[in-house]
């Protein structure tokens, strides 16, 4: 519809449809309720140390920025400080943000001049997306970051339309900036959107106020990062991306099928792929009808996806933040095609496009993810999930394989003993032991070694420096993952480094029987489990009051 057709209020049918879509996303997210990603506990441990010791650190006394979501980490710290159940608070906060993304997408579409039907189409694409549903309850900032992006753009559009509007979008942009490291990519929209109005609205005091409200806090935040942690990027950047964007290198090596965008499009069913491909074509054909916000914000999100190339987490976490803008672009493209037709062709186009959206929703509602993951719920085919919502919503959250690791740490080590392992989140948040991360998220020397190619002459030196640091910490346990399909690449390279170095055989006893999913190296003086651990176990359980799995109840019974 044209802009003047959206001037009136939203009708009752549109409101009812919007309520149904919002309710659908709520139920879809609750069907994933037990899933809680291990990385959520990394942020939580930083929050624990801030709330309890005044240090925003992973291991006390070590300044490493191993989190990439400061606002969310502060939210977790606030939960701990207030004495509220932190994991439950993280999951409920994400769920609320995700649910609000549906009406926010609709509201933004209306503000951008799209009609109610077009905005509802975009909201439907968002509401039926399984990735948003999963990340709503996973315990990370994905949904809150998405909501902040939509609200910031919505408010900026209001400010461009009303000269008297206060520059609240600048403050929202500050929250966006401090929520995720890719936030600077989304600044493109604000610059272009203001630039296209220069001919009729030259720069003035309003723009200066906006720039100061956004720029001063962002500048202070970046200076704080430099002073506190010594860099503009978190340590996770080197661990996940390495020396730079790997897309070109991967494509040149013929590994393009690992590209996250390719998997997002073509590993979730043909109906899902068809909707997005047709939506992109319609948007290109009717590009003048697609709002600038959809182009800019969608491009910025896809740029970051290309930069990151892939992700080790399930269900396309990096595609969730640009999802509302991509949905608005596709919906606007659909509307443009429909409006250009008349009579029977128009009716056929409406039916076809509706069928595509429904087919994509069906794929999202029934299909699983394309690779194995720690917790089956995150990747298994969803099937009859609407009939399992109540059961799953009442289930406790699952820490995954890290649950057994954490119990081994509690029962085999003292609280001051260092543990060397990957998947550090739940182990760190429950046991509170010093953790040496073999993936490098909070251990820069490990990331530096893992990023050195195997044929690089400097690999041996990087390996030696990494292991010197690890052995200096005298870890009580070294835990490496094993999977049915073989060792994960990171763990395999680390095991090869241990065996090539030789010191592990001198100082540790290999115990493959200790944990079912781990290759374990136990420091020689810890071959026998330590004695009474009652106070340590009960104190750890008090840190996470909503932790109540079958394994927890079984293992803790002996201590209560």
Each residue's pLDDT tens digit, 78-99: 999 999 999 999 999 999 999 9
**From residue 283, how far is each of 286, 327, 399, 545 by CA, in Å?**
5, 11, 42, 49
Domain residue ranges in the chain: 3-366, 402-559
Q: Which two tokens stand for residue 99?
A: 């649910």
**Tell me: the pLDDT tens digits for 335-347?**
999 999 999 999 9
- pLDDT of residue 457 exceeding 90, the answer is no
Among residues 419, 456, 446, the alpha carbon closest in space to that of 434 is found at 419
Q: Which two tokens stand for residue 63?
A: 């300044």
What is the rounded distance in angstroms from the CA atom of residue 383 to the CA atom of residue 367? 7
* Residue 15 CB-half CA count within 13 A: 4
What ranges in 230-322 are assigned the alpha helix state H? 235-241, 247-252, 260-266, 270-285, 292-308
- The single residue listed with the structure tokens 């241990």 is 498
pLDDT band (50, 70, 90) for residue 3: very low
Identify whether the C-beta of residue 186 lies closer than 8 Å to the C-beta of residue 305: no
Q: CB-based contacts of 243: which residues, under 8 Å, 6+ apart? A: 451
Q: Which two tokens stand for residue 501?
A: 């170095």
Q: Which two tokens stand for residue 420?
A: 């060397």
Q: Is the dihedral of CA 103, 108, 113, 119 positive or negative?
A: negative
Average pLDDT rounded to a whole number, residues 511-523: 90
What is the rounded distance in angstroms from the CA atom of residue 119 to the CA atom of residue 117? 5
Among 139-143, 250-254, 291-295, which is the least confidently predicted range?
Answer: 250-254
237-257 CB burial, b ≥16 within 10 A, e <16: bbbbbbeeebbeebeeeeeee
**Tell me: the pLDDT tens digits for 22-34?**
999 999 999 999 9
pLDDT band (50, 70, 90) for residue 247: low
Q: How many degrees, rounded to 5, is the angle at CA 65 between CA 62 and CA 66?
A: 100
- pLDDT of residue 2 exceeding 50, the answer is no
Among residues 146, 130, 377, the alpha carbon closest in space to that of 269 is found at 130
């Amino acid at each position: 519809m044209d802009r003047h057709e959206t001037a009136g209020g939203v009708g009752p049918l549109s409101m009812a449809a919007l309520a149904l879509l919002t309710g659908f996303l709520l139920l879809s997210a609750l069907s994933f309720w037990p899933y809680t990603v291990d990385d959520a506990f990394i942020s939580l441990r930083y929050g624990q140390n801030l709330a309890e010791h005044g240090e925003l650190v992973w291991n006390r006394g070590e300044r490493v920025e191993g989190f990439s979501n400061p606002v969310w980490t502060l939210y977790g710290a606030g939960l701990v400080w207030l004495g509220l159940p932190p994991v439950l608070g993280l999951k409920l906060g994400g769920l609320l943000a995700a649910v609000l993304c549906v009406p926010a997408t609709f509201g933004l579409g209306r503000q951008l001049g799209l009609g109610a039907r077009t905005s509802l189409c975009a909201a439907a694409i968002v509401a039926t997306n399984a990735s948003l549903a999963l990340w709503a309850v996973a315990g990370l900032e994905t949904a809150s970051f998405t909501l902040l992006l939509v609200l910031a753009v919505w408010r900026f559009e209001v400010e461009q339309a009303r000269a008297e509007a206060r520059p609240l979008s600048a403050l929202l942009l500050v929250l966006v900036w401090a929520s995720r490291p890719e936030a600077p990519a989304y600044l493109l929209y604000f610059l272009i959107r203001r630039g296209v109005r220069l001919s009729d609205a030259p720069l003035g005091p309003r723009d200066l106020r906006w720039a100061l409200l956004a720029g001063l806090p962002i500048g202070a935040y970046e200076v704080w990062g430099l002073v506190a942690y010594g860099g503009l990027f978190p340590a996770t950047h080197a661990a996940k991306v390495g020396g730079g964007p790997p897309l070109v290198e991967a494509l040149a090596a013929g590994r393009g099928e690992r590209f996250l965008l390719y998997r997002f499009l073509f590993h979730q069913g043909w109906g899902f792929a068809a909707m997005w491909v047709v939506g992109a074509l319609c948007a290109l054909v009717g590009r003048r009808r697609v709002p600038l916000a959809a182009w800019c914000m969608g491009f910025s999100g896809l740029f970051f996806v290309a930069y990151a190339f892939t992700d080790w987490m399930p269900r396309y976490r990096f595609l969730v933040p640009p999802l509302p803008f991509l949905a608005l672009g596709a919906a606007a493209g659909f509307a443009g095609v429909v409006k250009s037709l008349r009579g029977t062709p128009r009716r056929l186009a409406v039916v076809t496009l509706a069928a595509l959206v429904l087919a994509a929703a069906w794929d999202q509602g029934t299909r699983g993810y394309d690779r194995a993951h720690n917790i089956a719920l995150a990747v298994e085919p969803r099937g009859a999930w609407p009939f399992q919502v109540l059961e799953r919503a009442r289930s406790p959250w699952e820490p995954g394989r890290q649950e057994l690791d954490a119990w081994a740490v509690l029962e085999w080590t003292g609280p001051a003993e260092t543990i060397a392992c990957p998947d550090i989140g739940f182990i760190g948040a429950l046991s509170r032991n010093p953790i040496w991360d073999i993936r490098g998220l909070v251990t820069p020397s490990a990331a530096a070694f893992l990023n050195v190619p195997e044929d690089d002459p400097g690999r041996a030196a990087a390996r030696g420096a990494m292991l010197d640091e690890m052995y200096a910490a005298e870890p009580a346990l070294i835990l490496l993952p094993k999977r049915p399909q073989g060792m994960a690449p990171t763990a395999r390279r680390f095991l090869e480094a241990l065996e090539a170095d030789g010191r592990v055989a001198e100082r540790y006893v290999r115990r493959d029987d200790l944990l079912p999913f781990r290759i374990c190296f136990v420091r020689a003086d810890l071959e026998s489990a330590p004695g009474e651990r009652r106070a340590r176990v009960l104190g750890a359980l008090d840190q996470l009051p909503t932790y109540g799995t079958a394994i927890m109840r079984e293992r803790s019974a002996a201590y209560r």
